[in-house]
Amino acid sequence: MTAPQRDAAPTDFAELNWLAVAERVRADTRVLIPMGATEEHGYLSLASDSIYADYVTRQACARVGVLRTPVVPFGPSAFAINFPGTLSMRTSTMCAIVEDIIDCLYRQGFRRLVFATGHGGNEVITGVLSEAQIDRDGLSVYYYNCWDGMRDESRRISEERGLGVCDHAAWYEVQADTRVAPIPAGASQPVPADPDFPMFPLNPRTARRQIPDGVVAGAYDIADDAETARLREACVDHLTDFLQRLPAAAPER
Ligand SMILES: [Zn+2]
């Protein structure tokens, strides 16, 4: 925890009516849109990325007093489409959703839109975010990765504990609220040796054969929820700093 909460006024759309939002946007044109996913995460919750984005953005927005829309619970997850429970949006669907969100928020007076994602696959929207600004005067759109704040610390832990190359659904995604079932103790997934296995993008047709339980690479768990919770708090701090540096006033036209 770095910054104290600036005010106790609610920041979530879910806690506000439209009259309150109308009043807030007159003084502060910032709004954050949390982006998640519903996709296999190995032994972890299908909603892991949504849970992560929800937590990090809720804490940071409350500290800074930035309004926050509900979490967008789906993203492009083509690689995982054959894992039951995954709900993947086509890239074109996702971009259309984002365009509609931008259109609504811009009309209503918001001028600094922060799309904050817990899911790497949402990167496909960045082209739309850029293009959305071309013909909308005074609009600035930002793409923020909710994992950014843990990068250095997670690398240090990984090196110290010899956890190997880590990727999707590995230890750093384990939190008390994403752990929904026992995780095999001491398990570690090497990067598959299959020459048809690129780390990115994974082939949806072969993914279940190459990563049978859904963990892409690395140690499954460090059995230390306090440590991973600290990593998540570092992400809250990082986003808090980002939002504090973002002016409340509209950008120049
Ligand atoms: Zn994830």
Measured CA to CA, the distance from residue 81 to residue 133 in angstroms comes to 32
Model pLDDT, residue 1 = 46
Model pLDDT, residue 7 = 54
In sequence order, what are the residues at sequence separation of 6 or more whose Cβ sits closer than 8 angstroms to the Cβ of residue 102? 113, 128, 129, 132, 136, 139, 141
Assigned token pair, 63: 């500290």
pLDDT band at 176 (very low <50, low <70, confident <90, very high): very high
Q: Supply φ then ψ for residue 135, to 5 degrees.
A: -110, 20
Q: Mean pLDDT across the stretch 1-21?
A: 80
* pLDDT tens readout for residues 92-122: 999 999 999 999 999 999 999 999 999 999 9
Ligand 1 geometric centre to CA of 122 (Å): 11
**What domains sit in the chain, N to C, each tagged with a CATH number?**
13-150+231-245 (3.40.50.10310), 151-224 (no CATH)
Give Dmax over CA atoms of the chain in angstroms: 57
Assigned token pair, 106: 């811009």
> Greater confidence, 39 or 8?
39
Give the other-Cβ count within 10 Å of 218's Cβ: 21
What mean pLDDT value characterizes the chain? 94
Provide the edge-to-edge strand list for the sheet that holds 30-35: 67-68, 30-35, 112-117, 140-145
pLDDT at position 6 over 80:
no
Rama region for 134: left / alpha / beta (φ>0; ψ in -120 to 50; rest): alpha
Ligand 1 geometric centre to CA of 137 (Å): 35
Ligand 1 geometric centre to CA of 72 (Å): 14
Measured CA to CA, the distance from residue 15 to residue 12 in angstroms comes to 5
Ligand 1 geometric centre to CA of 41 (Å): 6
Ligand 1 geometric centre to CA of 229 (Å): 15
Ligand 1 geometric centre to CA of 49 (Å): 5
pLDDT band at 3 (very low <50, low <70, confident <90, very high): low
pLDDT at position 83 over 70:
yes
Assigned token pair, 188: 């570690």
Ligand 1 geometric centre to CA of 222 (Å): 16
Ligand 1 geometric centre to CA of 155 (Å): 17
Ligand 1 geometric centre to CA of 4 (Å): 29
* pLDDT tens readout for residues 132-160: 999 999 999 999 999 999 999 999 999 99
DSSP at 8: -
Ligand 1 geometric centre to CA of 241 (Å): 23
Q: Supply φ then ψ for residue 60, to 5 degrees.
A: -70, -45
* pLDDT tens readout for residues 196-239: 888 888 999 999 999 999 999 999 999 999 999 999 999 999 99
Asked if the bond preceding 70 is cis, omega within 30° of 0, the reply is: no
Ligand 1 geometric centre to CA of 119 (Å): 6
Ligand 1 geometric centre to CA of 19 (Å): 35
Measured CA to CA, the distance from residue 2 to residue 236 in angstroms comes to 9
pLDDT at position 2 over 70:
no
For residue 95, which of 68, 70, 122, 115 has the smallest C-alpha distance? 122
Ligand 1 geometric centre to CA of 188 (Å): 17
Measured CA to CA, the distance from residue 244 to residue 66 in angstroms comes to 9
Measured CA to CA, the distance from residue 234 to residue 140 in angstroms comes to 26
8 Å CB contact between 21 and 159? no
Ligand 1 geometric centre to CA of 45 (Å): 9
Ligand 1 geometric centre to CA of 196 (Å): 22
Assigned token pair, 146: 């909710």
Q: Supply φ then ψ for residue 59, to 5 degrees.
A: -65, -45
Measured CA to CA, the distance from residue 123 to residue 76 in angstroms comes to 9
Ligand 1 geometric centre to CA of 3 (Å): 27
